[in-house]
Homo-oligomer: A and B are copies of this chain.
Amino acid sequence: MSDRLVVIGANAGGMSAASVVRRRCSATEKEILVFELGHYTSYSGCGIPYYVSGLIPEVDDLVVRRPADFAKRDIQVHLAHEVVEIDTAAQVIKLRDLSQGTENSVSFDQLLIATGSRPVRPPIPGIDAENVLGVHTLDDGHRLRRFAGKGAEVVVVGGGYIGLEMAEAYVEQGCHVTLIEAAEQPMGTLDPDMGARVATALERVGVQFHRNTSVEGFVLGQDGCVREVTTSAGSFPADVVVLGMGSRPNTRLARAAGIEVGETGGIVVDAHMQTCVPGIWAAGDCVQSVHRVTGRPIVIGLGTHANKQGRVAGINISGGDAVFSGVLGTAISRICSVEVARTGLTEREADKAGLSYTALTTISRSRPEYFPGADEIVVKTVAEKPTGRLLGAQIVGCAGSGKRIDVFATALWNEMTVGEIAQMDLSYAPPFSPVWDPVAIAARRASERLS
């Protein structure tokens, strides 16, 4: 008799797992049922800013695979179904069909929780107004795009990746964009000296950037929509308010079922992606992962991890043996023409981890001086003292800078020292880099500084 896998959540983590299980088990061996609260499967949330900017014409373009695609492979996806309870002892979930208004129960042999995350919404009166939007689901995408008219007043709250990408998107649509950031610099995942370089890029494209500013309230119109955002730096008119304050793992169901959730707020899983309850697995933005540099748990909501974790869970659910090897906190973004990337620990994070380190910022060029298009790349390295082991790297620079972070990520994965990194055989030709690649220059200087 076939046993049944139930998956809660039809995005990256859930559908990667479902797909891998189906590749490894026929439909007679294993039935796969997926329940999704929203209206889409497997979509690219990261693509929303580019839909809002007009670069991507249709929101549907962001959908990678549809329920019909999965149905062909005997993976049954039910959209607009809210799972309201997990009974771990009885191995049953209770769910609500939102379109029909009906409720029922489904039993499972194995369960994968892939409930993702949700945007942080501070408890300010008016935060639930129709024109205060997160950047999360494709339904958000639809609504965000509707406000992207020329001359519209946009207030973005929070200057992380999403906030900045949305600020740029609306600028490209001819809107007037105000960015409210509680800290001194945007991009809090970088050190402030690197964040300052991003602030300059933002201001250059016309974003009104307000640092050290907190939102104090919303002024609502008669229609219940926010008309004005009140902050510690004054009031700003708003046709739409975009929440870019990060997201938190969606763990309500797991908590209620007695499944362990860590101090990070993410579901606790082992390297096999199994929760504390045998047969119940979790993957994606809702779980915590191990940071390979600190060895501590961390929550990082990112499609790359969700896909890998889903794959690992799927292999294990279908009788294989795979492990998820942890994260480095690698991230990349493009803010107008400036590329921003990071991996490992910032100075701040190294401090927090109690590590002794040297931080060094190196300015180099993307190409030899004589080559057209040579432009600036700023690389900051954080290296452990006295070992020289790389702890982290940050890059802010011209086109072609950002993806160099992957070299640092690979070095970090292998616990290389900055001295070793400087010795590596990296590629060189004038259209691609100076004879010493910016990565090697930064590592060499850091190594010289340490010795």
Contact = CB atoms under 8 A, between A and B. Distances in A.
Interface of A: 12, 44, 46-47, 50, 55-56, 61-62, 64, 161, 292, 302-305, 307-308, 324-334, 341, 343, 368-372, 400, 402-407, 409-411, 413-414, 416, 420, 423-433, 435-437, 439
Contacts of A341: 427
A292 B50 CA distance: 43
Contacts of A433: 403
B431 A334 contact: yes
Residue among A326, A406, A427 facing the most chain B CB atoms (10 A cut-off): A427
A12 B428 CA distance: 14
B429 A406 contact: no
Nearest to A370: B61
A368 B436 contact: no
Contact of A325 (B44, B403, B407, B423): B423
Nearest to A422: B308
Contacts of A432: 332, 334, 402-403
A406 B405 contact: no
A-B pairs, top 3 by smallest CB distance, nearest first, are: A332-B427, A414-B414, A410-B410
A330 B303 CA distance: 31
A409 B440 CA distance: 13
A433 B413 CA distance: 20
Nearest to A373: B55
Given A44-B368, A406-B427, 14 more contacts: A44-B370, A44-B430, A47-B370, A47-B430, A64-B369, A304-B428, A325-B420, A326-B425, A332-B429, A407-B410, A409-B424, A409-B426, A410-B411, A410-B424
Nearest to A344: B425
23 contacts: A44-B435, A46-B430, A47-B430, A50-B430, A56-B370, A292-B425, A303-B428, A328-B425, A330-B426, A331-B427, A332-B427, A332-B432, A400-B400, A402-B427, A403-B403, A403-B404, A403-B427, A405-B427, A406-B439, A409-B424, A409-B427, A410-B414, A410-B426
Given A304-B428, A325-B423, A428-B332, A62 B404 contact: no
Contacts of A307: 435-436
A295 to B, nearest CB: 15
A329 B428 CA distance: 11
A402 B430 CA distance: 13
A328 to B, nearest CB: 4
A324 B329 CA distance: 31
B343 A50 contact: no
A437 B307 CA distance: 12
Contacts of A406: 404, 406-407, 426-427, 437, 439
A423 B290 CA distance: 13
A410 B76 CA distance: 42
A407 B62 CA distance: 28
A44 B435 CA distance: 9
A372 B55 CA distance: 7
A404 B332 CA distance: 15
A157 B116 CA distance: 58
A431 B427 CA distance: 22
A330 B50 contact: no
Contact of A414 (B161, B334, B416, B436): B416
A432 B340 CA distance: 11
